Amino acid sequence: MNRIRLVWSRIWKVLSDFFVSVGSSENLSVAIFVMDSLRQLAMKFLEREELANYNFQNEFLRPFAVVMQKSNASEVRELVVRCVSQMVLSRVNNIKSGWKSVFTVFTAAAADDRKSIVLLAFETMEKIVRDYFPYITETETTTFTDCVKCLITFTSSKFSSDASLNAIAFLRFCAVKLAEEGFVCHDKDTDHQSNNLDSSEGNAIVHKDDHVYFWVPLLAGLARLTTDTRPTIRKGAVEVLFDILKDHGELFSQSFWTNIFGSVIYPLFNSEICTPNGQSDSTEDGSWNFETKTVAVKCLVDLYVTFFDVMRPELTRVTSVVTSFIRSAYRQSASIGMSVFQRLTEGLASKLSKDEWKEILLCFKESAAHTLVVFDKIVKMMQNIEIPERNESYSEAEKYSDPDIEDEEEANMETSSYAIVKMKNHMSLQLLIVQGIVKLYETHRRSFCAEHMGIILEMLSAITSHASEVSSESALHIKFHKACSLLEISEPAVIHFENESYQSYLKLLQALLHDNPSLSREMNIESQIMLVSVKILRKYLNCAGQEPSKDASCKDPVVHWALPLSAAKKEELSARTPLVLHVMRLLGGLERECFRRNLPLLFPLLANLVRCEHSSREVQVALYDVFQSSIGPIISV
């Protein structure tokens, strides 16, 4: 044992192959004997401290790693784990380059098909991480990487879910130990709260680069676990990943944060947001993505709000990730997106500049506009679908003579059923966005300037126009009516969708007019209210069979017989009544001068309302109030 290390290195090149060959022997007794001999020899070597820049420990411990990977005998593999465990626990002070072989052995053990071997190795790993962590970080930076890889392998254990979850917990523990030992990613003399961390000095660069090698493998390893097939592991990995970033983020420089967002966080959201029930590709895979991303996006917003001062340049991209959930055609995804978007804006409201608010609102607007295209797809889907009346279904004789008729009818009904569900989800999603817009204004109206309000009103205007487009697609609604009758399901509430959209739009315009008169004058809100009100009244009159004349100069209008409304029209008129009542109350509450200015635009419509048929007496009462309280005083002057 007194030979110099160079001599032992040459000798070991021969002996190493011998130990591997015999240790992998099918003769169990011989293999066990030789591995025990190797243990005794290794213990002797580990009594001597390894010199700097030498890796002889790794060389003489490598046979353990090779035998662990090659041996088919579980007894030999278990012995290897016991030998290495004994060496680590008794000679930990002297282990340097040998850590690489130690972690290679335990990584192989973590993937073993014997439960006893897995648990034995994990027991030692637990001891190493808890009690001997400084010995890992004081050697090569790759040693810590090997430790992380080993723990991640344990998370894949098929024998013990406790071991898997404990391995993730130990990854969190590793982060705590790194923080305690001062492994920061910026110069210690730099102000942690500064937005412009200066790494131009040589000391800062060296200090930062050294410690990045410890943090990156840990964070990247957890990011990989977010794609695991087991829900508990995926969720645990996401939560631990973001907890580490949130708990120790003050140790990171702006450049390191940028790298982490780009290489670890954003890739979690790279693929399309999937449906809650996984209808995108496969049900199972889609469900995994949805659950993982739901947890991740909530954690991302909390993290970003906490470290906004450092990560301010990432605002647009973070907002884009959040609003990508709103783009989903499914209410549950969109609901999560709206909820998280509100958390983001509420958390940052006091810190955002006008330009940053504009960035957020434009991102929101783009995602909201993207959801409108779903309706065009529904129209195309139903374009060539023919739905027979309930009493016009094909006879049994026709179906018997031509089986294709029955198949075609069944396919058409399946397509119609799917389109109806899509339509209901689409309208529900649009109303969810409308509610989100209104709440955004109510919460942050004092932060918004004319440009911001312009974006918000454009969004609402686009949705209300879309609602009108949806309700005017009569051919589609006739098909839906027939299909719902045959399928015995409720029809899409198209009129309700249009009513709710316009009502929310009007309420927001009224609120803006009341809350900020100067801004309202700048944006000509009064004119917008009148235009929306006129549009609603025209819709109602058209439904009642009293479409206003487009030729305003005509002094002698042609008199038409008023035909009774059909049952369908009466039902539609009844559905539109609440919105018209809202408009009537709005007009009745206008200031006298405001009403006087707009009377030429409103009077022909109000006059037509007097002579048209109504489904509710409330309309006539509201109309009487407008004439008495608003028009009467003007005439009497």
Q: Which of 26-40, 215-229, 381-395, 456-470 has the lowest mean pLDDT?
A: 381-395
Residue 544, pLDDT > 90, answer no
Burial code of 87-99, b = ≥16 C-beta within 10 A, e = fewer?
bbeebbebbbbbb
Question: How much is the average pLDDT of 247-251?
Answer: 90
Listed in sequence order, the residues at least 6 apart from 474 whose beta carbon sits closer than 8 Å to its beta carbon are none
pLDDT at 205: 31
Beta-bridged to residue 252, according to DSSP, are: 185
Q: Helix, strand, or coil here: 159? A: coil
> How many Å apart are CA 67 and CA 56, to the nearest integer?
18
Confidence of residue 328 (pLDDT cuts 50, 70, 90): confident
The DSSP result for 581-637, as a single string, is HHHHHHHHTS-HHHHHHHHHHHHHHHHHHHHS--S-HHHHHHHHHHIIIIIHHHHH-
DSSP state of 35: H
Backbone angles phi, psi at 55, to 5 degrees: -130, 35
Residue 229, pLDDT > 80, answer yes
pLDDT at 124: 93
pLDDT at 5: 57
Q: What is the 3-state secondary structure (H, E, C) of 493-504?
A: CHHHHHHHHHHH
pLDDT at 509: 96
pLDDT at 208: 36
Q: What is the pLDDT of residues 146-174, one digit of tens each?
A: 999 999 999 888 776 778 889 999 999 99
C-alpha distances (whole Å) from 251 to each of 175, 179, 247, 301 are 11, 8, 9, 19
- Alpha-helical runs (H) found in 307-387: 315-323, 331-348, 354-370, 373-382
Confidence of residue 624 (pLDDT cuts 50, 70, 90): very high
Question: How much is the average pLDDT of 19-38?
Answer: 90
Confidence of residue 8 (pLDDT cuts 50, 70, 90): low
Pair of tokens at residue 179: 């923080």
pLDDT at 386: 86
Q: What is the pLDDT of residues 99-155, one digit of tens each?
A: 999 999 999 999 998 999 999 999 999 999 999 998 888 877 788 889 999 999 998
- Match 């949806």 to its residue by tokens: 470
Question: How much is the average pLDDT of 179-185?
Answer: 75
Q: Helix, strand, or coil here: 273? A: coil
> How many Å apart are CA 214 and CA 209, to the nearest integer?
9
Question: How much is the average pLDDT of 393-407?
Answer: 54
Q: Which of 160-169, 252-261, 271-280, 464-473 has the lowest mean pLDDT?
A: 271-280
Q: Of 384, 392, 306, 320, which is closest to residue 351 (Cα–Cα)? A: 306
Average pLDDT of the chain, as a whole number? 84
Could you tell me which residue, 286 or 185, shows the higher pLDDT? Answer: 185
- Match 């045959």 to its residue by tokens: 486
pLDDT at 227: 84
For the chain, percent of residues with pLDDT exceeding 90: 55
Q: Helix, strand, or coil here: 252? A: strand
Q: Which of 29-33, 116-120, 187-191, 202-206 has the lowest mean pLDDT?
A: 202-206
Q: Helix, strand, or coil here: 572? A: helix
> How many Å apart are CA 122 and CA 193, to the nearest integer?
39
Question: How much is the average pLDDT of 370-377?
Answer: 94
Question: How much is the average pLDDT of 445-471?
Answer: 96
For the chain, how are helix, strand and coil distributed in percent, rounded to 5? 75, 0, 25
Backbone angles phi, psi at 385, to 5 degrees: -90, 130
Q: Of 91, 30, 24, which is closest to residue 63 (Cα–Cα)? A: 24
Pair of tokens at residue 573: 């008129």
- Match 């993505």 to its residue by tokens: 289
Q: What is the pLDDT of residues 284-322, one digit of tens each?
A: 445 557 888 899 999 999 999 999 999 999 999 999 999
Residue 605, pLDDT > 90, answer yes
Q: Helix, strand, or coil here: 56? A: helix
pLDDT at 284: 40
Residue 193, Cβ density class (10 Å: 0-12 exposed, 13-18 middle, ≥19 buried): exposed
Q: Which of 112-116, 267-271, 313-317, 441-445 has the lowest mean pLDDT?
A: 267-271
Residue 559, pLDDT > 80, answer no
Is the CB of residue 545 less than 8 Å from the CB of residue 562? yes
Residue 490, pLDDT > 70, answer yes
For the chain, percent of residues with pLDDT exceeding 70: 84
Ranges of beta strands (E only) in 39-159 are none
Residue 446, Cβ density class (10 Å: 0-12 exposed, 13-18 middle, ≥19 buried): exposed
Residue 551, pLDDT > 70, answer no
Question: How much is the average pLDDT of 252-265?
Answer: 90
pLDDT at 282: 39
pLDDT at 292: 86
Residue 583, pLDDT > 80, answer yes
DSSP state of 18: H
Q: Of 98, 125, 97, 99, which is closest to residue 110 (Cα–Cα)? A: 125
Residue 209, pLDDT > 80, answer no
pLDDT at 402: 53
Residue 60, pLDDT > 90, answer no
Is the CB of residue 31 less than 8 Å from the CB of residue 73? yes
